[in-house]
């Protein structure tokens, strides 16, 4: 099934006359390509699928030229995009290049289909370079119909930790990584479609609900004032647009649907990611009502079906990387916006009707691995016991903390309460997929006394000793403490312990 027809979102009607900032029927780029054969570059990336080539050949000089071209195009367009339909809106793709090619097969080539991507193009997946190069190439070739917003992973700090830096360094050099960072700093941060739909990667900023921002034009001016090129700040409007999250619906009272007490004054609360905020359904309602909007579309979080509604279906999360990191078994979602225009002679106005539906990109069928994986059955006690310092330290050889930079985190989701067998199997799969042992990397289970800013780490002191015992006995994983972990473990501070898988050199 390719499309999910909509009774999901009611048709959105408007009598406003829209004059988009960016529009155009000419799909061909008029940008000088500095010697880059753009069509050949795209064909090389796209045609590898038919030829059975998993890793297309990329030349450093071509990618540097592409970065320069993309930066020029992005800086010629505003930091706030004002777009019109029809349009297909895509969420995170995270370096899953084969799935990106499948997405274009499903939804249509950029030559004939308009696209808006909401960010998070790199990190975590195995082919971030191919992914970002194809997206940049399409942006240069189709500048008025193919759009890319900035995600929280399009910045120096996050790509340095979560994979893109290492991929650039391993395959080429650090200079190339810096070229891409220069482009990331020029990406727009939000889009408004037909003055009715607001799009960004993360969420709503408290700054938007202050009294001096009274209407949609004020909101636009606030976002237009964001300077570029610029790094992502630690707080403020840009940070919130890229990092904020809606409140987890499971935290609402089952009977009254009231929000937790911390949200009741402002509708915002600190985000467990350690950056930006979490906002309540009431904040979404205030935001849309104040600015005359009908819907907000964002990405940033994995959702099982590829899309998930919030706040009485006026807010939707889109995630377009199916089987995320080979672990979640989620579908990828694409929001498809169609547009029809009816002329009203009596008022000399156009009536614009927007309708939304979803296309679903299901996980690709995978060949079953012939690698025999060790069994962890019956290696755990029936009930996990408290993983205090003495129990943990007696089971594993603890490495010195070392420099944080030597560890490369791998995204392995943790469940609470811990499913040790599932987690241990995921460790094996991820290590095997990345050929960590073949290239001389040592897998580590890293325990930190502070919260990570990413969603792959959760507090897990309860049962920690069981987990590290399985990791050590079945998978020969070393355990690395981050600074302060030993002291925190000794003090039994349950809320301070976080864990993630990493690789580094022994």
At which of 317, 341, 361 does a domain end?
A: 361
Q: What angle do CA 32, 36, 40 make, to 5 degrees?
A: 115
Rounded distance between C-alpha atoms, residue 261 and residue 269, angstroms = 10
**pLDDT in the model for residue 175:** 97
Q: In this structure, are residues 300 and 308 in contact, taking their beta carbons and an 8 Å threshold?
A: no
Could you report the per-residue pLDDT of 134-143, keeping only the tens digit for each?
Answer: 999 999 999 9
Position 251 scores a pLDDT of 76
Which residues participate in catalysis according to the annotation? 153
CATH number at residue 244: 3.60.21.10
The predicted pLDDT at position 329 comes to 86
Q: How high is the pLDDT of residue 308?
A: 96
Note whether residue 23 is domain-resident.
no
Residue 282 shares a structural domain with residue 408: no
Q: Is residue 370 part of a domain?
A: no
Give the pLDDT of residue 404: 36
Boundary residue ending a domain (361, 381, 415): 361
pLDDT of residue 345: 84
Helix residue spans in 90-203 (DSSP H)? 97-107, 128-141, 156-162, 164-171, 174-184
For each of the chain's 506 residues, which pLDDT tens digit applies?
A: 344 433 333 333 332 323 333 544 444 444 556 678 999 999 999 987 665 666 788 999 999 999 999 999 999 999 999 999 999 999 999 999 999 999 999 999 999 999 999 999 999 999 999 999 999 999 999 999 999 999 999 999 999 999 999 999 999 999 999 999 999 999 999 999 999 999 999 999 999 999 999 999 999 999 999 999 999 999 999 999 999 999 988 777 666 667 788 888 899 999 988 899 999 999 999 999 999 999 999 999 999 999 999 999 999 999 999 999 888 889 999 999 999 888 888 888 888 888 999 999 999 865 433 333 333 232 222 222 333 334 444 443 333 444 333 444 444 444 333 344 444 455 545 544 444 444 344 555 555 544 444 433 333 334 455 555 555 555 555 555 555 554 544 444 444 344 444 544 43
From the number of C-beta atoms within 10 Å of its C-beta (0-12, 13-18, 19+), residue 120 rates as buried
Pick from 63, 126, 68: which is nearest to 100 by CA? 126
Q: Is the peptide bond before 173 cis (omega within 30 degrees of 0)?
A: no
Residue 28 forms part of a structural domain: no
Residue-level pLDDT at 387: 36
Residue 360 neighbours by CB distance under 10 Å: 17
Max CA separation in the chain (angstroms): 83
pLDDT (0 to 100) of residue 64: 97
Is residue 5 one of the residues assigned to a domain? no
Closest to 107 (Cα-Cα) out of 356, 358, 364, 363: 358
Residues 279 and 344 in one domain: yes
Cα dihedral 48, 69, 187, 313 sign:
negative
Domain, as residue range, for 96: 37-361
Residue 30: HSE in the Cβ half-sphere, 13 Å Cα cutoff: 5
Burial of 228 (C-beta count, 10 Å sphere; 0-12/13-18/19+): middle
pTM, 2 dp: 0.70
Clarify whether residues 331 and 399 are in a common domain: no
215 in a domain, yes or no? yes
Please give the pLDDT value at position 504: 45
Same domain, 247 and 162: yes
- 128, 162 in Cβ contact below 8 A? no
Do 254 and 105 belong to one domain?
A: yes
* pLDDT score, position 472: 55
Q: Which residues does residue 446 pair with via DSSP β-bridges, in sequence order?
A: 480, 500
Query: Residue 275 domain-assigned?
Result: yes
pLDDT of residue 249: 81
Task: Based on the fold, state whether residues 194 and 269 are members of the same structural domain.
Answer: yes
Q: Could you give the CA distance from residue 134 to residue 117 in angstroms, rounded to a whole number? A: 13
Q: Say if residue 395 is in the same domain as residue 307.
A: no
Q: Identify whether the C-beta of residue 410 lies closer than 8 Å to the C-beta of residue 430.
A: yes
* Domain assignment of residue 13, yes or no: no
Query: 255-292 burial, b if ≥16 CB within 10 A, otherwise e?
Result: eeeebeeebeeebbbebebebbbbbbbebbebbbebbe
Same domain for 324 and 408?
A: no
Write the pLDDT tens digit of every residue in 430-469.
544 444 444 344 555 555 544 444 433 333 334 455 555 5
250-290 residue pLDDT tens? 777 666 667 788 888 899 999 988 899 999 999 999 999 99
SS3 state of residue 228: coil
**433 and 357, same structural domain?**
no
**Residue 369 resides in a domain:** no
Say how far apart CA 121 and CA 133 lie, in whole Å: 10
Q: State the Cα–Cα distance between residues 314 and 197, nearest whole angstrom.
A: 10
Q: Where does residue 39 fall: left (phi above 0), alpha (psi -120 to 50 degrees), or beta otherwise?
A: alpha
Nearest-angstrom CA–CA distance, 191 and 199: 5
Same domain, 408 and 298: no
Residue 75 and residue 448: Cα distance in Å, rounded? 40
Overall number of domains in the chain: 2
Same domain? For 354 and 400 the reply is no
Residues 394 and 335 both lie in one domain: no
């Amino acid at each position: 099934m390719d499309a999910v027809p909509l009774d999901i979102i009611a048709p959105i009607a408007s009598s406003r006359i829209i004059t988009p900032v960016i529009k155009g029927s000419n799909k061909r780029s008029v940008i000088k390509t500095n010697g880059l054969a753009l069509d050949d570059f795209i064909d090389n990336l796209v045609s590898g699928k038919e030829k059975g080539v998993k890793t297309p050949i990329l030349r450093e000089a071509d990618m540097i030229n592409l970065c320069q071209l993309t930066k020029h195009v992005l800086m010629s367009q505003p930091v706030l995009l004002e777009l019109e339909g029809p349009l297909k809106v895509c969420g995170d793709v995270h370096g899953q290049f084969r799935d990106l090619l499948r997405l274009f097969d499903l939804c249509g080539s950029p030559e004939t289909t308009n696209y808006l991507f909401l960010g998070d193009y790199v990190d975590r997946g195995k082919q971030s370079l191919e992914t970002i190069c194809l997206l940049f190439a399409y942006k240069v070739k189709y500048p008025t119909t193919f759009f890319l917003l900035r995600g929280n992973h399009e910045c120096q700090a996050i790509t340095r930790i979560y994979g893109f830096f290492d991929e650039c360094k391993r395959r080429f050099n650090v200079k190339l990584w810096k070229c891409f960072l220069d482009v990331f700093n020029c990406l727009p941060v939000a889009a408004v479609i037909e003055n009715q739909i607001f799009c960004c990667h993360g969420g709503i900023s408290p700054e938007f609900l202050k009294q001096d921002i009274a209407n949609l034009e004020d909101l636009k001016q606030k976002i237009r004032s964001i300077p570029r090129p610029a790094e992502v700040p630690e707080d403020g409007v840009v940070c919130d647009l890229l990092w904020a999250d809606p409140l987890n619906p499971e935290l609402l009272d089952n009977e009254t649907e009231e929000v937790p007490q911390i949200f009741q004054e402002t509708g915002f609360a600190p985000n467990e990611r350690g950056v930006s905020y979490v906002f309540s359904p009431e904040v979404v309602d205030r935001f849309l009502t104040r600015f005359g909007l009908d819907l907000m579309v964002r990405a940033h979080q994995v959702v099982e079906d590829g899309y998930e509604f919030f706040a009485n279906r006026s807010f939707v999360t889109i995630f377009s990387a199916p089987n995320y990191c080979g672990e979640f078994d989620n579908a990828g979602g694409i929001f498809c916006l169609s547009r029809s225009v009816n002329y009203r002679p009596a008022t000399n106005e156009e009536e614009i009707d927007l309708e939304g539906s979803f296309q679903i990109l299901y996980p690709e069928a995978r060949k079953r691995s012939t690698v025999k994986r060790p069994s962890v059955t019956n290696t755990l006690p029936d009930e996990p016991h408290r993983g205090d310092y003495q129990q943990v330290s007696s089971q594993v050889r603890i490495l010195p903390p070392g420099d944080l930079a030597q560890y490369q985190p791998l995204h392995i989701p943790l469940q609470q309460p811990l499913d040790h067998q599932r987690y241990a199997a995921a460790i094996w799969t991820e290590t095997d997929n990345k050929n960590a042992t073949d290239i001389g990397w040592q897998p580590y289970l890293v325990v930190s006394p502070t919260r990570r800013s990413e969603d792959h780490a959760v507090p897990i002191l309860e049962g920690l000793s069981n987990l590290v015992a399985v990791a050590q006995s079945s998978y020969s994983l070393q355990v690395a403490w981050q600074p302060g972990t030993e002291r925190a473990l000794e003090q039994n501070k349950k809320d301070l312990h976080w864990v993630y898988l990493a690789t580094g050199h022994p």
